[in-house]
Homo-oligomer: A and B are copies of this chain.
Amino acid sequence: MTTSDPSLAKRRPRARRGQGELLRQDILRAAEDLLIRKGDADAVSIRAVAEAVGVTPPSIYLHFADKSDLIFHVCQQQWERFDHDLRASVAGIDDPLAWLERIGHAYIRWGLANPEHYRILFMSKPTQVPAHVDKEQVIMAGTFGDALAVVTRAVERGHLRGDPALLTFSVWAAVHGLVSLMIAIPEVPWPPRDAVVDFTVRRALLSATHSV
């Protein structure tokens, strides 16, 4: 017979003065967690984020202008992590083909290891992202831009043949095809993961080295 409300899981202790930014980080973490679990920005509510953090809903507005601002910052964090992880996988690699092979494997591995992140970044409706985000710039400044530069240099030096943009988009589509299909249609009897991953990467590179 206590008056405590069981729906309010645990109240977060008030931050010390000057430590307001801590709540911002907690909100971002909780929102990302919910976005991953729900898979859709519409299904993430300000109220649920607040409860997960242990504060009341209006507290969210101390750190984010509105819901779309919050979702945007979550997505931005995810882009940063994606680019960071992929770039780390090819650190120090110079040979273009080795670079492409490594990044192809890393791309697929990342997507399959983080299916919900991947879904949000590469399989969701464009409208889920706030309108002011320039997606082209985000992609060109990220790992895809690196890949395009690597392929372009390789073509200029004669290591690869063909149109650099066509080759790069094509490799991207190949690895994306595998990742996104395995994420979207997992119910189907896929061949062993390693076999299909290796096959996909090898085929993507084959198309870059052979004229077809």
Contact B123 A184 (CB under 8 A): yes
- Cβ of A184: which chain B residues have Cβ within 8 Å of it? 122-124, 126
Contact A166 B122 (CB under 8 A): no
Contact with B along A174-206 (1 / 0, CB 8 A): 111110110011111111000110011011101
Q: Which of A4-12, A36-44, A78-86 contacts B (4 or more CB under 8 A)?
A: A36-44
Chain B: which residue is nearest A125 at the CB level? B39
CA of A172 to CA of B188 in the docked complex: distance in angstroms?
Answer: 12
Contact B126 A123 (CB under 8 A): no
Chain B: which residue is nearest A202 at the CB level? B212
15 A-B residue pairings within 8 Å (CB atoms): A40-B40, A119-B125, A122-B181, A122-B184, A123-B123, A139-B185, A163-B191, A165-B189, A165-B191, A166-B195, A169-B196, A173-B200, A174-B177, A175-B177, A199-B212
- Cβ of A94: which chain B residues have Cβ within 8 Å of it? none
- Residue count of chain A within 8 Å CB distance of chain B: 50
- Cβ of A207: which chain B residues have Cβ within 8 Å of it? 199, 203, 206
Contact A191 B173 (CB under 8 A): no
**Integer count of this chain's copies in the complex:** 2
Contact A190 B169 (CB under 8 A): yes
Known: A40-B42, A203-B212, A212-B202. A135 touches B188 (CB 8 A): yes
Known: A40-B125, A43-B42, A177-B175. A136 touches B187 (CB 8 A): yes
Give, as a whole number of angstroms, the nearest-CB distance from A137 to chain B: 9
Known: A43-B42, A125-B39. A177 touches B169 (CB 8 A): no
Q: Does A17 make an interface contact (CB < 8 A)?
A: no
Q: Does A170 make an interface contact (CB < 8 A)?
A: yes
Q: Does A16 make an interface contact (CB < 8 A)?
A: no
Q: Does A210 make an interface contact (CB < 8 A)?
A: yes
Given A173-B177, A173-B200: 12 more A-B contacts, CB < 8 Å: A39-B125, A42-B42, A122-B184, A123-B180, A124-B184, A139-B187, A139-B188, A169-B191, A169-B196, A203-B207, A206-B206, A206-B207
